[in-house]
Amino acid sequence: MSVKIMAAVYDSDLIDVYDVAVMLALANHADDEGRCYPSVRRISELARCSERKAQNVIKGLQDRGYLRIDQQAGPRGVNVFHVIPTPAHCAPPHDVHPAHCAPHPRTLCTPPPHSVHPTPAQRAPEPSINHQETSEKRQTRDVHDALEAFAGSEAVASFIAFRRKMKKPLTLTGAKRLAKTLDEICKLGGDPDDALALAEERGWQSIKADWYFKETGNDAQPSHDASRPHQPHRGQAHGRGRASAHRSGHQIASEIDGALGIGQPQAVGRWDA
């Protein structure tokens, strides 16, 4: 951050609030030469406006000479901004008048030339890396956002750290897939925070709904087929119907007699001759 550039922005003739906000956002990342390379997203965050608005303001400032942009001249091919709080067309006029009684140029002797090598300007220091938003930080934030839509921030941070400790950091694609699973677990009555904690305890890189419900002993099942009540096979139902239909009248009568004790064999005494 350059206080010098910030002060120059405040002293400039800019009056539009978005022009000033974007210039201050750039100065927040710039060195004392006005050089910086923040992302448009970062500029929009500091200027409190949308990315599209920030791009339009940057274009206007560039057209009026307040910014110079070197395309893909920064680290990893990013654009480099040069903040110019006082463009040349805004500089106050400077009139130069010849000194009184100055001798005519032809009356002066030209001194012999001598070689003077100008002292090269010291290379401007690089802007602090702390102010440059790397792609790794952006991806980490996107991974957090994807999971925190369905789980608590503490559980999410713990699981991401667990994956990093396993030398298998969670990618944005993997986070989106895991978020869908957490949503499914939540809809089936489970606890997404508990699911992430269970994955850590078991040493799993991810979690599936059926794994979670099996480990927790919960009756909920992720599959629609598993939650559907069991229906007897059509052939079995018809077979039982046919078996009932083929019961004979004799069988029915025997069952009734048995219930009433009719027709039961009686003990017969032995007749002596």
The model's pLDDT over 18-40, given as tens digits with 9 standing for 90+, comes to 999 999 999 999 999 999 999 99
Nearest 5°: CA angle at 79, between 76 and 80? Answer: 105
Q: Does a structural domain hold residue 177?
A: yes
In whole angstroms, give the CA distance from residue 182 to residue 188: 10
Which three-class secondary structure state does DSSP give residue 80?
A: strand
Does 11 share its domain with 78? yes
- How many domains does the chain fold into? 2
In a domain, 42, yes or no: yes
Domain of 58 in residue numbering reads as: 3-87
The Cα–Cα gap between 81 and 78 comes to 10
Pick the last residue of a domain from 87, 116, 145. Answer: 87
Structure tokens at 39: 């992302």
Does the pTM surpass 0.75? The reply is no
How far apart are alpha carbons 208 and 91 in whole angstroms?
A: 66
pLDDT of residue 90: 59
Residues 74 and 140 in one domain: no
Same domain, 76 and 141: no
- pLDDT at residue 257 in the model: 56
In a domain, 250, yes or no: no
Q: Cα–Cα distance between 271 and 49 in angstroms, integer?
A: 118
Would you say the C-alpha torsion 252, 258, 262, 268 has a positive or negative sign? positive
End residue of a domain, out of 87, 103, 119: 87
Amino acid at 201: E
Provide the CATH number for the domain around residue 70.
1.10.10.10
Q: What is the pLDDT of residue 111?
A: 60
Low-confidence ranges of the chain (pLDDT < 70): 89-134, 219-273
Mean pLDDT (the chain, rounded): 76
**Residue 73 forms part of a structural domain:** yes
Question: What is the rounded CA–CA span in Å between residue 58 and residue 67?
Answer: 8
Residue 239 located in a structural domain: no
Q: Is residue 265 part of a domain?
A: no
Question: Which residue is associated with the tokens 């102010």?
Answer: 131
- pLDDT in the model for residue 1: 80
**Cβ of 70: how many Cβ atoms within 10 Å?**
13
Q: Is residue 49 part of a domain?
A: yes
